[in-house]
Amino acid sequence: MKSLSEIDTTSKRASRAVGFSWGVAEEIGKNIRLLELFGLEGIKTLNQYYKLRKNQKFENVNLINENNHSEKYPFCPITLGLNFLDQIRGIEKFEKIIFNNVSYPLLILPFLSRSSEVIGKKIKLKFNDIAFLLNLNVNIRSNLSNQSFPEFAKKVEINFLENKDNFSQQEWESLYKLSEETFVDETDSLKQNAAGAGLTDND
């Protein structure tokens, strides 16, 4: 079994070999490592994409808006993901962001996962009836079954989710009341010990 370090290094070098700068290649290496760590087909998908790049042209997205359309060529998932991560502080104000015609959408997933950590919010990604919930770069939840990832997605939808507790106020109050049983009342003895703390000369 290949180590995560091997996956990172080989993905980085392969990315440099197909024309990306060393800086971008390093980001790709981190991303493929992340996909494989979460049990997703990072190496396989990157291989497929790089084979396609030899004969296929792709559109780059620079300034990301709420709706992003590419009429002629599909969006490159690498430059899309990079710009998304770079611009995350500005675009998190959008409730929803849509991209049409994206190639190998799985490759944008780690960029979004890392973006989720930057802004401290969960991000929902949906394409071709596949949905992912990205949780601060800690874990990824999906409705994915045993199916292959698509080479192209006609529509990619990204939502920023507001932080909410997974429990009711009543449940919180009930647990907090139970925790109060561990609170200790301050006694005269405790006060005296606290007052003399740190005054002993050990020299």
The predicted structure's pLDDT at residue 187: 58
The predicted structure's pLDDT at residue 138: 87
Which two tokens mark 121?
A: 């919010």
The predicted structure's pLDDT at residue 197: 53
Instruction: Give alpha helix (H) positions in 66-203.
Output: 77-86, 88-91, 109-119, 169-179, 188-195
The predicted structure's pLDDT at residue 94: 92
What 3-state class would DSSP assign to 47? helix
Which two tokens mark 78?
A: 């690498």
**Mean pLDDT per 10-residue section of the chain, whose length is 203 residues:** 94 95 96 93 94 91 92 92 96 93 94 94 92 88 74 93 88 92 68 56 53
Instruction: Give alpha helix (H) positions in the chain.
Output: 4-17, 22-37, 42-53, 77-86, 88-91, 109-119, 169-179, 188-195
The predicted structure's pLDDT at residue 189: 58
